[in-house]
Structure 1
Amino acid sequence: MLAAPVTGTADAAPTAVTTQAHTPGRVKDDGDTVRHSWPGVYFEATVRGTGVGIVLKDSAADYDVQIDGATVATLVTPGDRTHWISGLQDRTHSVRLVKRNDTPWSTSTFGGFLAAPGGAVLARPAARARQIEFIGDSLTVGYGNLSTSRTCTGDQLRRTTNTDVSYGALTARRLNADYQVNAYSGLGMVRNYGGGSPDVAYRTYYDRALLNQPGDVWQNPGTWRPQVVVVHLGTNDFSTPVQAGEPWTPESLAAGYRAAYGDFLRKLRTRYGSNTVLVAVGAGQFAGHVEQVVKARNDAGDSRVRSWFLDSAGLDFLGCDWHYSAHDDRVIADRLTPYLASLPTGW
């Protein structure tokens, strides 16, 4: 029987994190620790023995610890300590640590895995051949998707957000793909929810590893080469009416959105090359704009840009503040998985 996580002191310093743990996420590699900010970042390792230590420094985010495919502990704002999962059978175990929620104002630090006395952290698991990048806002984060009420306090929102059961994470796992969820709640392509923070938008942050550090740029170690990038941005641009004082009219907002979206797709094409399939998700009132952007890219000769309509039929929007529920994330993954599998990726 598994024991609850306990605080302990490592009996030996962990080796360099990226030599023992597999992660496709955007991390800053500092050797014995890695720092990260985006939601859904995960670390996988193989550990032999009766216990696993997880070295964390994080006062903002929550994490799930999964052993052999089952969640055995949720670490709520774990602080600066080593958390131990004890009482394991004395054998080899797969271990996965995953960040549940989005904390863009904070930097998270992971110091690696430890084995209980007599055990060992074994060779780093191999990366998956398939890779998918998901770009979006709170709907892609999994904002409040485990909530039992649409009305949530800030604390309830933090505890009930779980990117690991968002539609992106579910879709990627069904396709046996590594993934990144580079999503930021409240932001749009050119306009944010309610017209807030007009000096920034999603594209302000996209290049960063550490979201709260202006000017930061993630350095791709050369291992992140997604065959598919799914972009789901537009809800925050259009879901609230333009307010007095905003630099938009409905017409200029639509035109600005389409222009910025086209520029963003060109940026992704330059970054990832001609073989990556770029999937632009359209939903609700911005679906037509997405289709126009994709048509323009296709007419310019880029046939590997596709549009995918996210149908809201069958969704209950029972997450916090009328966001997708965990049920909705499963429904969307049911629809998105076969679509991505049908793309010309060589899978």
Structure 2
Amino acid sequence: MPWLRMMAASAVSTVLIGTSAVTTAAAPDPRGVRDSVHTAGRIKASGDVLQYSWPGVYFEGRIRGTGVGVVLDDPAADYDVQVDGSTVATLVTPGKTTHWVRGLRDGEHTVRLVKRNDTPWNTSSFGGFVAAPGGAVLTRPAAHSRQIEFIGDSLTAGYGNLSPSRDCDGEQLKRTTNADVSYGALTARGLRADYQLNAYSGQGMVRNYNGGSPEVNYRTFYDRALLNVPGDVWQNPGTWRPQLVVVHLGTNDFSTPVNPGEPWTDESLAAAYRSAYSGFLAKLRQRYGASTTLLAVGTGPFAGHVDHVVRERAGAGDRRVRYWPLDTSGLDYTGCHWHYSARDHRLLADRLTAFVADLPIRW
């Protein structure tokens, strides 16, 4: 499936829809950003901001008053701002700014900020929510008891899922990618679960799309919070203990023929993929323990390899590893470059939710 490596966006600040945005400084909540918002994403505290890189990272807060400011420093990513469950603004590469949502009913409100696209070359920074004069930042929303981690590539990131056409230039791709309506986000919210979307476009388990960047693969980046910082390691605060981990990797490994000069034959690529996949599942098992269900997704040319790995691990005694043969019937692939459309993501979320319902997950 075609994949276009996204180049860094220019540092412009644009509001597509919503209320006013200003760049005047606003001080974050004195209790500290980390204590005033809820997030399940991979973040790293740096002074008075939270830094992050993965798509779909979200922050949830509560305020009292008639307005809320969103403190950001991000020249590359796009965001949705949601108040009381409704999207009130879409911010395009906002840069360093405080975006204000004004004119709210005077009272208590929930606010949610979500990173729409994958910008692995950039480190994003969030400085918290601030209340309009006369208001206050309230205690953060409670975390959900259910947690799901999604691991994948562009198909999991929501690559170009809002595009009206398959043919996309780089700018259209950036504006029409929305991880918040990906199958993972939809599934998790439907199950009332917190979630991580640890997805990286173009990366494979052992081979990236069309053999690109052979010195790295998805596993190079999995442990990081900040994707563009070599050697970075995300420090789990102890609160991330997913009951379900969904792995959807293999499209980039096998969607294009092996090129001359690549160190693979079809047979050696398949063997390396199975070996790496088994090792990756073992890593997840060691990290999250015996009670976490690992769900390996298989489809197309790599379905048999994933099924083989799952059977092998189950035969060796791993009682909570499962195989999900992804049903692609009815998908239109009208997102950018033949990726899942928003409609496809909705169908897949419904199918995944039904499949998960029959698993012995210890929620």
> TM-score normalised by the shorter chain: which range applies?
over 0.9
Change (3 A) 1:117 1:231: same
Superposed CA deviations along residues 241-278 of structure 1, whole A, max 9, x for unmatched, are 00000000000000000000000000000000000000
Alignment-derived partner of residue 313 in structure 1: 329
Alignment-derived partner of residue 85 in structure 1: 101
1:205-220 pair list within 5 angstroms: 205-220=221-236
Alignment-derived partner of residue 4 in structure 1: 19
Q: Distance in 2 between matches of 1:76 and 1:245?
A: 40
Secondary structure class of the residue paired with 1:265: helix
Structure 1 residues 231-240 or 2-11, which shifts more? 2-11
Alignment-derived partner of residue 134 in structure 1: 150
Choose from 64, 69, 73 the match for 1:48: 64
Alignment-derived partner of residue 101 in structure 1: 117
Choose from 295, 320, 341 the match for 1:325: 341
Does the 8 Å CA contact 2:26/2:71 hold for their aligned counterparts?
no
Q: Distance in 1 between matches of 2:230 and 2:336?
A: 29
Alignment-derived partner of residue 3 in structure 2: none
Does the 8 Å CA contact 1:149/1:320 hold for their aligned counterparts?
yes
Secondary structure class of the residue paired with 2:109: strand
Amino acid at match of 2:305: H
Alignment-derived partner of residue 67 in structure 1: 83
Q: Distance in 1 between matches of 2:358 and 2:22?
A: 46
Q: Distance in 2 between matches of 1:111 and 1:7?
A: 15
Aligned length: 346
Change (3 A) 1:11 1:253: closer
Q: Distance in 2 between matches of 1:5 and 1:26?
A: 29
Q: Which runs of 5+ in 2 are unaligned?
A: 1-16
Amino acid at match of 2:240: W
Q: Distance in 2 between matches of 1:181 and 1:13?
A: 26
Alignment-derived partner of residue 7 in structure 2: none
Q: Distance in 1 between matches of 2:266 and 2:95?
A: 45
Does the 8 Å CA contact 1:5/1:73 hold for their aligned counterparts?
no
Amino acid at match of 1:221: P
Q: Distance in 2 between matches of 1:205 and 1:342?
A: 32
Does the 8 Å CA contact 1:189/1:201 hold for their aligned counterparts?
yes
Alignment-derived partner of residue 6 in structure 2: none
Does the 8 Å CA contact 1:48/1:93 hold for their aligned counterparts?
yes
Does the 8 Å CA contact 1:17/1:31 hold for their aligned counterparts?
no
Q: Distance in 2 between matches of 1:220 and 1:303?
A: 25
Alignment-derived partner of residue 222 in structure 1: 238
Q: Residue 281 in 1 paired to residue 294 in 2?
A: no
Q: Shift in Å at residue 11 of structure 1?
A: 5.0
Q: Residue 34 in 1 paired to residue 67 in 2?
A: no
Q: Shift in Å at residue 4 of structure 1?
A: 1.3
Amino acid at match of 2:186: L
Does the 8 Å CA contact 1:41/1:181 hold for their aligned counterparts?
yes
Secondary structure class of the residue paired with 1:81: strand
Runs of 4+ in 1 over 4 A off after TM superposition: none
Secondary structure class of the residue paired with 1:168: helix
Q: Shift in Å at residue 12 of structure 1?
A: 3.9
What's the Cα RMSD here?
A: 1.0
Q: Distance in 2 between matches of 1:303 and 1:5?
A: 53
Secondary structure class of the residue paired with 2:253: helix
Q: Shift in Å at residue 32 of structure 1?
A: 1.8
Does the 8 Å CA contact 1:152/1:320 hold for their aligned counterparts?
yes
Q: Distance in 2 between matches of 1:301 and 1:5?
A: 57
Q: Residue 192 in 1 paired to residue 175 in 2?
A: no
Amino acid at match of 1:227: Q
Q: Shift in Å at residue 124 of structure 1?
A: 1.0
Q: Shift in Å at residue 346 of structure 1?
A: 2.5
Amino acid at match of 2:29: P
Secondary structure class of the residue paired with 1:259: helix
Does the 8 Å CA contact 1:189/1:234 hold for their aligned counterparts?
yes
Secondary structure class of the residue paired with 2:241: coil
Choose from 160, 163, 181 the match for 1:147: 163
Secondary structure class of the residue paired with 1:126: coil
Q: Shift in Å at residue 18 of structure 1?
A: 1.1
Change (3 A) 1:280 1:71: same
Q: Shift in Å at residue 5 of structure 1?
A: 2.9
Superposed CA deviations along residues 110-169 of structure 1, whole A, max 9, x for unmatched, are 000000001111001110000000000000000000000000010000000000000000
Q: Distance in 2 between matches of 1:39 and 1:12?
A: 26
Does the 8 Å CA contact 2:26/2:98 hold for their aligned counterparts?
no
Amino acid at match of 1:270: Q
Q: Residue 244 in 1 paired to residue 260 in 2?
A: yes
Q: Residue 168 in 1 paired to residue 164 in 2?
A: no
Superposed CA deviations along residues 281-333 of structure 1, whole A, max 9, x for unmatched, are 00111100000000010011001000001111010000000000000000000
Q: Shift in Å at residue 10 of structure 1?
A: 4.4
Change (3 A) 1:126 1:31: farther
Alignment-derived partner of residue 314 in structure 2: 298
Structure 1 residues 29-38 or 144-153, which shifts more? 29-38
Does the 8 Å CA contact 2:28/2:129 hold for their aligned counterparts?
no
Q: Distance in 2 between matches of 1:38 and 1:106?
A: 10
Superposed CA deviations along residues 167-209 of structure 1, whole A, max 9, x for unmatched, are 0000000000000000000000000000000010000000000
